[in-house]
Amino acid sequence: MPPSPGQPAFQVPRGSALADLIDAANVGGPRCIDGPVGAGKTEALVLRAAALIASGVPGSAILVLLPDREAVARFETRLTPWLDGSHAAPRCRTYYGLAQGAVRELWDDLAPSAGFSATAARTLPRLLTYETAQAMMYGIAAPRIAQGQFEGLSIRPQRLVSQLLDGLNRAATGGYPLDQVERRLAAAWPGEPARLRHYAQAAACMQAFRARCLDRGAVDVSLAVELFHHEVVERPDRRQALLGGVEHLLADNLEESVPVAQRLLGHLAGQARSTLLVRDTDAGHRIFLGADPLGAAELCAALGPSLKLSRRRDQDPTGAFAAWALLSLSRDPSAAVQDPASRAVEPTPSQRPDRDDALARTALRGAVEAPDRRAMIEAAADAVANELSGGLAAAQLAIVAPYVDGVLRFALDAALASRGIRLRTHRRHLPLRESPWVRAGLSLVALVEPELGLPEPFALAEALATALPAIDPVRSARLVRALYDRESGVLAAAEGLDARDRARIGPAAVEAYEGLRTWIGREGATGGEARPTFDPSDRPSGSTRLEQRLTALVAAMASWRPPAAGEAAAFASLIEAAAEFRAAAPVLEQRPGAWAADFKRLVLQGLVSVRAPEPDDGDENAVLLAPAQTYLVEDQRHAVQLWLDAASPDWWSPPYQPLTNAWVLSPRWPEAQIWTRAIDREQRDQVLARLVAGLARRAETGIWVLACLGEAGELPLEGPLWRRVRDLAGDGLRSTADAREGGS
């Protein structure tokens, strides 16, 4: 074991098999570590990396493959205390980061043989972000939608675009040709013929997108993965040239990896001096993102016997609850994790324990049934207050729901605030338009940048109320109605207010309004030129006038009404997105000089969804609210969780995705197999079982489950999750009236 500057969170028994795997002297064949959440698998991987570094292995010879950038950041943070500054850290990467890096590094070799135009092959590739890829796909799909294509699909354009990109990604991560997407979907579809036409229209959009990329040298994630897999990983000469220096291979969350990533790991495991792969046996929550948990199990089996870690169930009621979920919520109790296409089953002790309802019940701190949504939210707030009074800190509590929208967030925030409790919200890809500061910034900048399109009165009123002190929505509406000329985009002086409006608006609001007018006048006079009062390093290199205007507005807003940290970060994301969009403009087919207006339109349509913190993000002394899937993907963990809307079928029903199917587009799916109702139901049950078990594993102490049975005039809700929880709770089930009396 390497010397530690601090006590590790995970203690490894000396002389154990796990200690042997961690020890740098162990450079034998590849091995896997299996186990549930909390068994110490990731900590063992960190210790293995530290041991290699301490033994003198250069960081460049160690590759750590992780599922996403957040996991990379967490791993690097945990490894840092073990590094003394004299050694280089290992290469911590995602598969997608490796793919994009390979495209950049080997572009001169890849471009001519991969079908790029001669012009594109002579220039550097333009790597598209998810946002700029959405913009390119929208430019292809929007005219077709206007012509009547995709008629009959009840889906917003931004959702349609994301599903078209999903089809591209499925083919790339599955390792099969793009033209198979339509064929796979059509062969499995048992419904009305109109859907087959939609599949063909989707395929045409995807092929047009790919053709445009090849013509212009644009590389989105799907094309980067396709090039990396077929032109590098599957070619030994190029794979050796790029990754031949990898002597020690480490990988975490193998169950969350896609098939082509597993193929890469198989190749590298064959060449590396040592390999250690870590797999969570009851996870695999990224199935909708292309993950292949069964492939991870097969890869581990091919590498030899795995070292299995576990948590003691007799002392772990939430672990027992997870086991109960895998059994109780699965239609086939003999197989908690099952692939519907191949019917391949991977039984492990953690997935097939003896059912122990009594122990699982001890993890259930409360099961509360409410007649309506408002009562459920009040009951959740009462439960939070009860836990805080029992000694827990707000940061130890998390509220999860199948979906988190603005209405739920607002209602929960108000209920908790009335009890003196703060709430912070975490959503993985928050559309920029959901930030009022982003909407305000676009409206205000449009007053000095007419090419953006002048703001509508309601949008400008919201901007004034958001950005200026002493101005609420009522005052801002009066100001805009009296002083804004929509045709010219001019805000008149406050002198134009009549006495009645001036009295109702108040002197403080009038002063703030005039401060905005002063900024508009000054900004308009500069023509968007950079001024020495702003640090040039704050602006993207080669920034355009829009980015300069937005940067200037940030400074002005800070002097009017300083935004919270999350609000400022959202605005910074807007400026970053503008820079990315502008850089990609040559490949997006924008009209000359119209990229800024197109960018604003796409932001307001919700297509630009750069990860932006929510207004109160970063407040550690607050209860967390997150969608269930996001909570799992981000690997959040708390002492106590509260599950909302447990009676809703949304826990069990996948999102409406008529143009894609996570299982049918898996390379495991037999192309002749029809997607039957039985398979659909079986798969929903398995996903629900994994979801609930994954959440339970991440609750250290216990779980509250709260259900809303419906609103007035609606049929009572009773989804499969609530039916099982209600049976488990038995006499412990309480109504909202009971919940307010005695806590847990």
Give buried/exposed letters for 400-432 (b at 16+ CB in 10 A, else e).
bbbebeeebbebbbebbeeeebebbbbbeebbb
How much is the average pLDDT of 419-425? 92
How far is 492 from 478, CA to CA, in rounded Å? Answer: 13
pLDDT at residue number 228: 96
How far is 321 from 359, CA to CA, in rounded Å? Answer: 8
Q: What percent of the chain has pLDDT over 70?
A: 85
How much is the average pLDDT of 620-642? 91
**pTM score, whole prediction:** 0.86
Question: Could you tell me which of 455, 29, 469 has the C-alpha nearest to residue 276?
Answer: 29
Instruction: Give pLDDT tens digits for 398-420.
Output: 999 998 888 898 999 999 999 99
Do the Cβ atoms of 60 and 88 come closer than 8 Å? yes
pLDDT-derived band at 25 (thresholds 50, 70, 90) equals low
Give buried/exposed letters for 482-510 (b at 16+ CB in 10 A, else e).
ebbeeeebebeebeebeeebbeebeeebb
Which residues are paired to 93 by β-bridges? 65
Residue 590: DSSP 8-state = P
pLDDT at residue number 593: 64
pLDDT at residue number 168: 97
Quickly list DSSP for 371-382. SSHHHHHHHHHH
For the cut 80, the answer to whether the pLDDT of residue 35 exceeds it is: yes
187's tokens: 């062969």
Q: Which segment of 88-97, 314-323, 346-355, 633-642 scores lowest on mean pLDDT?
A: 346-355
Is residue 632 packed enough to be buried (19+ CB in 10 Å), middle (13-18) or exposed (0-12)? buried
For the cut 80, the answer to whether the pLDDT of residue 478 exceeds it is: yes
How much is the average pLDDT of 268-287? 88
Return the top range by mean pLDDT from 217-221, 317-321, 690-694.
217-221
For the cut 70, the answer to whether the pLDDT of residue 341 exceeds it is: no
164's tokens: 């078209």
How much is the average pLDDT of 704-724? 78
How far is 138 from 145, CA to CA, in rounded Å? Answer: 10
Residue with tokens 């000469």, as numbered in its chain = 237
Return the top range by mean pLDDT from 106-110, 548-552, 729-733.
106-110
For the cut 90, the answer to whether the pLDDT of residue 143 exceeds it is: yes
Question: Could you tell me which of 205, 243, 301 has the C-alpha nearest to residue 99?
Answer: 243
For the cut 80, the answer to whether the pLDDT of residue 164 exceeds it is: yes
How far is 448 from 621, CA to CA, in rounded Å? Answer: 40
Is residue 677 packed enough to be buried (19+ CB in 10 Å), middle (13-18) or exposed (0-12)? exposed
How much is the average pLDDT of 587-606? 79
Please state, rounded to an integer, the average pLDDT across all residues of the chain: 84
Q: Quickly list H helices, 394-435.
A: 406-417
Q: Which segment of 216-225, 338-347, 680-689 scores lowest on mean pLDDT?
A: 338-347
Give buried/exposed letters for 14-40 (b at 16+ CB in 10 A, else e).
eeeebbebbbbeeeeebbbbbbbbbbb
Number of residues that this document lists for the chain: 744
Instruction: Give pLDDT tens digits for 520-572.
Output: 888 876 554 433 322 323 333 445 778 888 888 888 888 888 877 777 778 88
Which residues are paired to 63 by β-bridges? 91, 249
- Higher-confidence residue of 208 and 44: namely 208
Question: Could you tell me which of 348, 208, 345, 225 has the C-alpha nearest to residue 279?
Answer: 348
How far is 125 from 108, CA to CA, in rounded Å? Answer: 10
pLDDT at residue number 548: 85
Question: Could you tell me which of 447, 451, 490, 487 has the C-alpha nearest to residue 467?
Answer: 447
How far is 431 from 162, CA to CA, in rounded Å? Answer: 13
Q: Which segment of 382-396, 410-424, 479-493, 535-549 scores lowest on mean pLDDT?
A: 535-549
pLDDT at residue number 714: 58
pLDDT at residue number 473: 92
- Higher-confidence residue of 343 and 164: namely 164
Residues 6+ apart with CB under 8 A from 374: 411
How far is 738 from 127, CA to CA, in rounded Å? Answer: 57
How far is 254 from 284, CA to CA, in rounded Å? Answer: 9
How far is 261 from 67, CA to CA, in rounded Å? Answer: 10
Do the Cβ atoms of 69 and 63 come closer than 8 Å? no
198's tokens: 């939609």
Q: In a 3-state reduction of DSSP, which class is residue 34?
A: strand
For strands 484-485 and 490-491, give the pairing: antiparallel
pLDDT at residue number 313: 55
Q: In a 3-state reduction of DSSP, which class is residue 11?
A: coil
3-state secondary structure 704-721: EEEEECCCCCCCCCCCHH
Total Cβ atoms within 10 A of residue 338: 22
Amino acid letter, 675: W
pLDDT-derived band at 379 (thresholds 50, 70, 90) equals very high
pLDDT at residue number 397: 97
Return the top range by mean pLDDT from 333-347, 482-496, 603-617.
482-496
For strands 248-251 and 623-627, give the pairing: unpaired
pLDDT at residue number 314: 54
pLDDT-derived band at 634 (thresholds 50, 70, 90) equals confident
pLDDT at residue number 353: 44
Residue 153: DSSP 8-state = -
Torsion of CA 426, 429, 431, 434, to 10 degrees: 0
pLDDT at residue number 86: 64
Based on its alpha-carbon atoms, the radius of gyration of the chain, rounded to whole angstroms, reads: 28
List phi, psi (to 5°) of 27: -120, 30
